[in-house]
Amino acid sequence: MTLPADDRLIVALDVPSAYEGLVLANQLGDSVSFYKIGLGMLTGGGLALASELKQDQGKRIFLDMKLFDIGATVENAVRGLAQFDLDFLTVHGDPYVVKAAKEGAAGTDLKILAVTILTSLDREDLNGALIKDGAISDLVAERAGRAFEAGADGVIASPQEAAMIRALPEAEGRLIVTPGVRPTGADLGDQKRIATPAAAVGAGADHIVVGRPIHRAPDPRAAAEAILKELQG
């Protein structure tokens, strides 16, 4: 039995070109309704792919740019990207960046998601980047709270921090989107703070992002449907 699409699952089109992204989307067909297009595909036709999936196939689109610059530049960039009728856009979680992005998205349905701490990073990585001392979970909570106060529609966070963020008073009515999701038995790749799809949603995530476990599978559609079954089971 074919499971209906569930937009809690966002499939990351982390492939080299728009053509390969379109091939994958066609393989997945009506089993997937929401796609993430990241920075790696931007020069490979990512915006054109976003437009085609949105306008021609009715898919939802999450553009994962993680914008970070002076406020005026961020505002102008977001205003330009909002013309593509996107659903989600990521920026770094610094409050001034979030505020600028919200200004750029004003008058549109584009949701601004703030990045807390990348799920590929651990405390040793943060030390190397001169990030202040403290447990990652505490830093994520602090950044999430400040991003919400600055107007973020949601945050990007590890599944391991989803419940903690959901419990924040500022998180009421806001989105939590979790990368670092791996089906049981899947290769971890470069992710260090992970959870299974069901665990991430159970912890408070509104959407999970899954890439390699789907696009590297021998049968991508079957891999996506296995995740849908776990989510809906």
pLDDT tens-digit profile of 124-167? Answer: 999 999 999 999 989 999 999 999 999 999 999 888 888 999 99
Q: Is 128 annotated as belonging to a binding site?
A: no
Residue 140's pLDDT is: 92
User: 111-115 and 154-156: which strand pairing?
Assistant: parallel
Q: Is 14 annotated as belonging to a binding site?
A: yes
What mean pLDDT comes out for the span 160-182? 91
Q: Of 54, 66, 192, 229, which is the active-site residue? A: 66
Neighbours of 200 (CB within 10 A): 31
192 is catalytic: no
Q: Is 182 annotated as belonging to a binding site?
A: yes
What mean pLDDT comes out for the span 194-200? 81
In degrees rounded to 5, what are phi and psi of residue 200? Answer: -65, -45
- Minimal CA–CA distance to 204: which of 230, 168, 150? 168
What mean pLDDT comes out for the span 191-217? 85
pTM listed for this prediction: 0.92
Q: Is 194 annotated as belonging to a binding site?
A: no
pLDDT at 228 over 60: yes
Higher pLDDT, 158 or 192: 158
Highest mean pLDDT among 69-73, 126-130, 136-140, 194-198: 69-73
Spatial neighbors of 63 by CB under 8 A, at least 6 apart, are 36, 37, 46, 50, 81, 84, 86, 88, 89, 90
